Amino acid sequence: MSKLAENIKKLDPGKKESPFLHTLFDGFFTFLFTPNHTTDESGVHVRDGMDLKRTMIHVVLAMQACYLFGTYNIGHQHFVAIGEYTGFLEGIHLKLAYGLVKLLPIFIVANVVGLAIEFWFAAKKGHGIEEGYLVSGALIPLIMPPDIPLWILAISVAFAVIIGKEAFGGTGMNILNVALLCRAFIFFAYPTTISGDEAWVAGLEGFAAGSPVDYSWWQTGFFNGIFENLGWATYNASAVVVDGYSGATPLILAANGNSFAAEGTLAAAGGWEAVTSVYSPLQMFWGAIPGSIGESCKPLIIVGILILLSSKIASWRIMLSMFLGMMFTGMIMNAMGTSPFMTVPWYYHIYMGSFLFAMAFMATDPVTASSTNTGKWFYGFFIGMVGMIVRVWNPAYPEGWMLAILFMNVFAPLIDHMVLDANISRRLKRAKKSVAESVSVEQTMVEKVH
C-alpha cells in the first residue's frame, strides 16, 4: 500500500463505531485505489488491477460519447419543434445548455436514489459498497425520455434496486437487468410518460401547432443572462410549435404511419415509406431524431462497442448472435410482408430504434446474461428473435429490446443448466466408452496370454 493510501486509510471512521460512515469511506477508498489482497506467499496467485470497480468504469466510459450527444440532441429536437435553429450545428450553445438542464436532474435523481439504497443495504449487511450500480446509474438516464417526471423516475429506480437486486442478494445475484427493470416499471405503471409521440421531445406544453414552450428560470433567467452578456442568441420565451410537427419516432411512424401524409398513400399506411417521409436514413444513423436520450447516435454506440470488445468487458458472442437473431427474424418478416411494418428491410431496424444500444450495453450484462460460451449464442440469438417479434407484431409497443432482454434474463440460468448438463452427459459417454475400450483391450490381452 502506498504512503498516500496509508494516510487516507487512517481517516476510516471504523466499522464498529460508525457502520454507515465506514461503508461510505470504504466505497470511496476502493474507488481510488486498486485492491492489494492476494493469497499467502506459499500459494499460487495472479495479481490484477482490474477489479469489479474498474470493470464497471470501463463500461461507464464507453457510454460517455452517448451522454454528450444525448445532451445536445435533447436541445436540437426541442428547437426543431419550434422551428428555430433547425440545422444540426445551429444554436449550439442554446441546445447544449437546454439539454444539460434536462439531463442533469435525471442523472442526479437516478444516482442519488439508487446509491442511497445501495449504501443503506451495505451498511445493514456490514460489507463494502457493491459496485454494480455504477453501470445501472449510468444506463438509466440514457434510456429515459428527456421530460420524464423526476418523482416517477425516483420511484422506478427504488423499485428496480430493491425488488430487482437487493431482494436477490445484491450485486452479482440479480436475475434481471436493473436499468431495464427500471424502465419496465415506468412502462407498465406510468405508460403515457414513456410512450407515444410527446414523450420524446422536451419543453413543450403540447404538440399542436401554436403550443407554447415551457421554459424554466434556467433558460429565461440564468442562461439568458449569461448569453446576453456574451452577445449570443438567447431563448425565446414566446416561441411556439410549428405547423406540421409531430415528434413521432421512426418506429412509431413505421407502425402507425405518418398522420400528415395524404390519405391512401403508402406513407399514411406505415412502413418504410412513412419513416422516410419524415427522416432520412442518414438522420437515423447519426441520431438527429426523437427518442430516448442516449440510444439514437449509431456511430457513437459503435465506438462504445469497440471499447467494450477491445477491453474484453462484453461478450462478442452475445452481440453477434443477437445480430444474427434479429437478421434471421427480420428476413422472415420481409418474406411474409403481411403488414407495412413487416416490409421494412431488416437492416434498417438497426437504424430505427435502440437495437445497437441494447446489444452493446444491455444484453451483454455479465450478471443477467448466460455465462457459458455455448449458452451465450442461444441467449443472444433468442433476444434478437423475440425483440423483432415484439417490435413488429405488437401494436402497443413498437420497440421490443427491453422486453426481449428481460424475458431472456429469466431463461439465462436454464440455458446454462442445459448446456452444462449436455456437457456432463457428453463427457460421461466418452468416459464410459473409454472404460469399455480399456476393458476390451485387457480381455483381449488375457485371452492371448492363455
Instruction: Provide mean pLDDT across the span 211-232.
Output: 94
> What are the residues whose beta carbons fall under 8 Å from the beta carbon of 353, sequence distance 6 or more?
249, 250, 251, 291, 295, 391, 399, 400, 401
**If you count them, how many residues does the chain have?**
450
Domain count within the chain: 2
**From CA 195, how far away is CA 188, in angstroms rounded?**
10
- Burial status of residue 149 (CB atoms within 10 A of its CB: 0-12, 13-18, 19 or more): exposed
Task: Let me know whether 359 and 396 are in one domain.
Answer: yes
Task: Let me know whether 180 and 204 are in one domain.
Answer: yes
Instruction: Provide mean pLDDT across the span 428-448.
Output: 77
Q: What is the pLDDT of residues 32-81, one digit of tens each?
A: 555 555 555 555 455 555 556 667 788 888 999 999 999 999 999 999 99
Q: Which residue has the higher pLDDT, 147 or 3?
A: 147
Task: Let me know whether 417 and 346 are in one domain.
Answer: yes
Q: What is the pLDDT of residues 391-402, one digit of tens each?
A: 998 867 778 899
Task: Let me know whether 425 and 450 are in one domain.
Answer: yes
First vs last Cα of the chain: how many Å apart?
A: 72
Q: Does 249 fall in a domain?
A: no
Task: Let me know whether 300 and 333 are in one domain.
Answer: no
According to the model, what pLDDT value does residue 74 have? 96
**From CA 53, how far away is CA 36, in angstroms rounded?**
14
177-183-186 Cα angle (round to 5): 140
Confidence of residue 309 (pLDDT cuts 50, 70, 90): very high
Instruction: Provide mean pLDDT across the span 340-347.
Output: 92
User: 365 with 306: CB under 8 angstroms?
Assistant: no
Instruction: Provide mean pLDDT across the span 212-230.
Output: 94
The residue ranges of DSSP E strands in 2-85, in sequence order, are none
Q: Does 240 fall in a domain?
A: no
Task: Let me know whether 307 and 334 are in one domain.
Answer: no
Task: Let me know whether 199 and 118 are in one domain.
Answer: yes
> Is residue 295 helix, strand or coil?
coil
Of 313, 344, 379, at which residue does a domain stop?
313
In this structure, the number of other CB atoms found within 10 A of the CB of residue 108 comes to 12
Model confidence at 29: pLDDT above 90: no
In this structure, the number of other CB atoms found within 10 A of the CB of residue 146 comes to 27
The overall longest dimension of the chain from CA atoms, in Å, is: 109
According to the model, what pLDDT value does residue 388 have? 95
According to the model, what pLDDT value does residue 6 have? 64
Closest residue by Cα to residue 96 from 123, 43, 88 = 88
**From CA 78, how far away is CA 82, in angstroms rounded?**
7
CA distances from 417 to 247, 315, 373, 409 (A): 45, 19, 12, 14
Closest residue by Cα to residue 384 from 443, 317, 290, 314 = 317
Task: Let me know whether 303 and 326 are in one domain.
Answer: no
In this structure, the number of other CB atoms found within 10 A of the CB of residue 425 comes to 10
According to the model, what pLDDT value does residue 400 have? 87
According to the model, what pLDDT value does residue 228 have? 95
Q: What is the pLDDT of residues 264-296, one digit of tens each?
A: 777 777 889 999 989 999 999 999 999 899 999
Q: Does 261 fall in a domain?
A: no
Task: Let me know whether 303 and 180 are in one domain.
Answer: yes
According to the model, what pLDDT value does residue 435 have? 80
Q: Which domain holds residue 431?
A: 317-450
User: 129 with 118: CB under 8 angstroms?
Assistant: yes
Rounded to the nearest integer, the mean pLDDT of the chain is 86
Q: Does 237 fall in a domain?
A: no
Q: What is the pLDDT of residues 137-196, one digit of tens each?
A: 999 999 999 999 999 999 999 999 999 988 888 777 889 999 999 999 999 999 888 877
Confidence of residue 248 (pLDDT cuts 50, 70, 90): confident
Q: Does 218 fall in a domain?
A: no
Q: Does 253 fall in a domain?
A: no
Q: Does 403 fall in a domain?
A: yes
Q: Does 219 fall in a domain?
A: no
**From CA 100, how far away is CA 96, in angstroms rounded?**
6
Task: Let me know whether 428 and 363 are in one domain.
Answer: yes
Q: What is the pLDDT of residues 349-366, one digit of tens each?
A: 998 889 999 999 999 998
Residue type, 229: N
- Cβ burial 335-373 (10 Å sphere, 16+ → b, else e): eeeebbbbbbebebbbbbbbbbbbbbbbbbbebbbbbbe
199-295-193 Cα angle (round to 5): 20
Task: Let me know whether 299 and 345 are in one domain.
Answer: no
Task: Let me know whether 306 and 394 are in one domain.
Answer: no
